[in-house]
Structure 1
Amino acid sequence: MWSSVGNAPPVGPRKPTEFAELARRVKRAGLFERRRGYYIARIAVNLAVLAGACVLFVLIGDSWWQLFTAVLFAITFTQLAFVGHDAGHRQIFRSKLANDVIGYAHGGIVGMSYGWWVGKHNRHHANPNHEDDDPDIHIPMFAFTQGQSTVKRGFLRWMAKYQAILFFPVLLLEGLNLHWTGLRAVWRGEVALRKLEAGLLIAHLGCYLALVFVVLSPPIAVVFIAVHQGLFGLYMGCAFAPNHKGMPTLSADDSLDFLRKQVLTARNVRGGPWVDAVLGGLNYQIEHHLFPTMPRPNLRSAQIMVQQFCAEHGISYSQCGLLRSYGHVLRYLHELGAPLRAERL
């Protein structure tokens, strides 16, 4: 037994963790460097498209052709939300304040509470696919674990039985859910800058409804809002759904290091630049979870390094095409509903 400091065993240098080793490789490659030019161009293009869509909306006037502009608005709102997501992760600037300015501004444009969303999303990043701690797998209308499916009752239990069929139709409501949940959080004072967010959300709602109902007759206005908000929710849901749904879920009994917790619970979507643009860089979900502050345009380079590192250390790395990723999600949801469908009526 070592009884004194003089007899203590020599302390060697601490062995670096696998994640630390990976992070050093990525840092040496310069992939944490900010890409301000990219984001300035991205924001400028998004705002130009939004302005153009507004002008087109006014020029077309009270016509059912406005349903096509509703599609354009849905796409533009989602692209703006992607920038807000990046700001929430401090990918654009090193300064928290500068990122928050961009984040709150984009949240106001699309009608979402930036403060509420950042808090929820950070909890997801800390515990991805954890059945107790990840808010993204606690959605009343779906069951993402066997335990969730068995405790549902009434209409929600019926939905869990057929959730694979209902998944995409329900996503049409996700836009309204994001608006309402953020508004409720602001009303309850669950955000830091309550007055600022309340002002932004009221301004968004007032301008949006005024523009729609001044230019359009009530029937067309209602349908326009339904199409715009429905497709906005569907697009947002389709961008986030392939990332973790159908991947292993964790519980309090699981003990994984940071590297494995982030890699094993996430799925990448393979594709070229068009997939990067359509999914806002979320197709590199593994790299994004490992390095959430990494600027979006650097994720493609990081992906090659992370996949190689995982192969060297025998860590499973999940990646597939976009349509196949949706197939995995639907298959997983269908399997979770099977025991409920087998119940005797």
Structure 2
Amino acid sequence: MKLEEKCGQNGSLVGRSQPHLGEEHQEHEKAVASAGAEVQVKQEANGKQEVPRKSLNTYTWQEIQRHSQEADQWLVINRKVYDVTGWADRHPGGRRVLKHYAGEDATDVFRAVHPELGIVQLYLKPLLIGELAPGEPSQERNKNCQLVKDFQDLRKTVEAMNMFDANLGFFFLHLAQILILEVLAWLTVYQFGSGWCVTIFIAFLLTISQAQSGFLQHDAAHLSIFKKSKWNHLLHKFLMCHLKGISGTWWNYGHFQHHVKPNIYPKDPDVKLGPVFVLGDLQPVKYGKKKIKYMDYEKQHLFFSMVVLPFSIPTYIHLKSFRMMYLKRDWVDFAWVSSFYIRHFITFGPFYGIFGTLLLIQFVKFLESPWMTCVTQMSHIPMKISVEENRDWFSAQVLTACNVEQSFFNDWFTGHLNFQIEHHLFPTMPRHNYHKVAPLVRSLCAKHGLQYVNKPLLKAFGDIVRALKKSGALWKDAYYET
């Protein structure tokens, strides 16, 4: 039997699906709700469309795949074809996220990254232009349709288990931890002054606070901790901008690209690090054969350890953040980020002065940088990095991410990002439920012959350096090849 004959032609957008949409979208949500749209949303979620089926144009995959350019973007969700070209600039996750899936089936990624399906369906409706022709498979023909179906069944299972319901108490305790550390740092300098030992202790407290704020803002950006999206939006601004001093909009744009196309060069900004680094197996060879040598990539693992680890947050990340706020004229984020510095000047300025407070802030970021860099890179840099291969959602996440063994310390130290596979498969799932669904994910991997990588924490850190060293060696061989 041919692959397309085995593929099912009917799908369903079951469950919770879509991200916080920003203030503009929240106001629209209220207006729609007041107009009695709730019934309409339920009908659409059950696969019912107001537009009669006979009025929709039908398209083949060959036709759809031609609409994958910047100025012409179509995508497929649940066998329906949408022209998102005009919507791209207003997309809360940035236009590039849509561009990355133009000409492809986006059903699973659509469900994965959106916690509020009903609201987003209202935005999709005007973009609907047709549907797949009756003889067309629900996904592109190169995809394993049985694996796609099995993953969709898995998602229905974890939805039925209420694995997408957030425990407010869990997140409240983490927020309380952060605020207690901030207050304790101020009380320490207030009580004991600004001596060297006291300053180091304060920096230690603030470093923990900054790291845990990063993990918590990550949760706030991905899932609906609160039932009202406006509160999730405000919580994310508070955690990312006020507590960390980084633009939340900049983080969203880059991070959601990473989620929809992990380790795909050049679509994932987390692996688009040339000319500083060459990653994976393909890019080093490409650079080597073209005799590209911006630095001695054979020693890039040393550069990473001595320069990137301590300075990525205080320099690279903050410069990128301020650059986006300036280019986008994002005055809301700028005001929130300004409050981060104002708070520090008010709290520590009387003891360290303005210049001394700035040094304290940089010192804390210097200490936080190795922690956060290792945690965020350990699960992806050592894994498969490739150009676009149009893989199904499940395979794309499992092949490009690895887990770190569970323990109380590992969970706390990584903000549960040690469950990176589960997080990438279900980005809107609260992290306190990752360990509950991990056995189900592992079982599906075994069924389809996919390796479920789970390693010790220190080995995961070491694998970053080993992967960089391997890529550097590939570059050297290609560069000096006669």
The answer, yes or no, to whether TM exceeds 0.5 is yes
SS of 1:304 mapped into structure 2: helix
Counterpart pick for 2:311 among 158, 170, 173:
173
SS of 1:337 mapped into structure 2: helix
State the partner residue of 1:59: 191
Counterpart pick for 1:50 among 172, 176, 182:
182
Question: Residues 189 and 220 of structure 1: is their aligned pair in 2 closer, same or farther, counting only changes over 3 Å?
Answer: closer
The TM-score normalised by the length of structure 2 is 0.63
Contact 1:80 1:110 (8 Å CA) reproduced: yes
Contact 1:31 1:294 (8 Å CA) reproduced: yes
Instruction: State the one-letter code of the partner of 1:52.
Output: L
Instruction: State the one-letter code of the partner of 1:43.
Output: L
Please show how residues 194-233 of structure 1 align to structure 2 within 5 Å. Answer: 194-209=330-345, 211-216=347-352, 224-233=360-369
The TM-score normalised by the length of structure 1 is 0.87
Q: Using the alignment, how far apart are the partners of 2:350 and 2:291 within structure 1?
A: 44
State the partner residue of 2:387: 251
Please show how residues 100-139 of structure 1 align to structure 2 within 5 Å. Answer: 100-107=233-240, 108-139=242-273
Query: Bigger shift: 335-344 or 145-154?
Result: 145-154
Q: Give the drift of 1:199.
A: 0.7
SS of 1:71 mapped into structure 2: helix
Q: Using the alignment, how far apart are the partners of 2:236 and 2:410 within structure 1?
A: 23
Question: Residues 325 and 42 of structure 1: is their aligned pair in 2 closer, same or farther, counting only changes over 3 Å?
Answer: same
Task: Identify which of structures 1 and 2 has the higher relative contact order when contacts are C-alpha pairs closer than 8 Å and 6+ apart.
Answer: 1
Q: Does 1:276 align with 2:411?
A: yes
Q: Using the alignment, how far apart are the partners of 1:180 and 1:331 within structure 2?
A: 28
Q: Does 1:311 align with 2:449?
A: no
SS of 2:424 mapped into structure 1: helix
C-alpha deviations, 1:150-197, integer Å up to 9, x for none? 26856x422x2212122233121122222221111111116xxx2221
Question: Residues 152 and 44 of structure 1: is their aligned pair in 2 closer, same or farther, counting only changes over 3 Å?
Answer: farther
Q: Give the drift of 1:96.
A: 2.5
Question: Residues 185 and 37 of structure 1: is their aligned pair in 2 closer, same or farther, counting only changes over 3 Å?
Answer: same
Contact 2:186 2:348 (8 Å CA) reproduced: no
Contact 2:221 2:252 (8 Å CA) reproduced: yes
State the partner residue of 2:31: none
State the partner residue of 1:4: none
Q: Using the alignment, how far apart are the partners of 2:283 and 2:245 within structure 1?
A: 31
Q: Using the alignment, how far apart are the partners of 1:10 and 1:338 within structure 2?
A: 48
Identity of aligned residues (%): 27
RMSD of Structure 2 on Structure 1 (CA): 2.7
Runs of 5+ consecutive residues of structure 2 not aligned to the other structure: 1-133, 139-144
SS of 1:162 mapped into structure 2: helix
SS of 2:243 mapped into structure 1: helix
Counterpart pick for 1:84 among 217, 224, 227:
217
State the partner residue of 1:239: 375
Instruction: State the one-letter code of the partner of 1:200.
Output: W
Instruction: State the one-letter code of the partner of 1:309.
Output: L
Q: Give the drift of 1:82.
A: 0.8
Counterpart pick for 1:93 among 206, 226, 230:
226
Query: Bigger shift: 209-218 or 256-265?
Result: 209-218
Contact 1:64 1:220 (8 Å CA) reproduced: no
Contact 1:90 1:96 (8 Å CA) reproduced: no
Question: Residues 209 and 171 of structure 1: is their aligned pair in 2 closer, same or farther, counting only changes over 3 Å?
Answer: farther
SS of 1:30 mapped into structure 2: coil
Indicate the structure with greater helix content: 1
Q: Give the drift of 1:292.
A: 0.3
SS of 1:240 mapped into structure 2: helix
Question: Residues 153 and 94 of structure 1: is their aligned pair in 2 closer, same or farther, counting only changes over 3 Å?
Answer: farther
Q: Using the alignment, how far apart are the partners of 2:291 and 2:238 within structure 1?
A: 38
Q: Give the drift of 1:207.
A: 3.1
Contact 1:131 1:145 (8 Å CA) reproduced: no
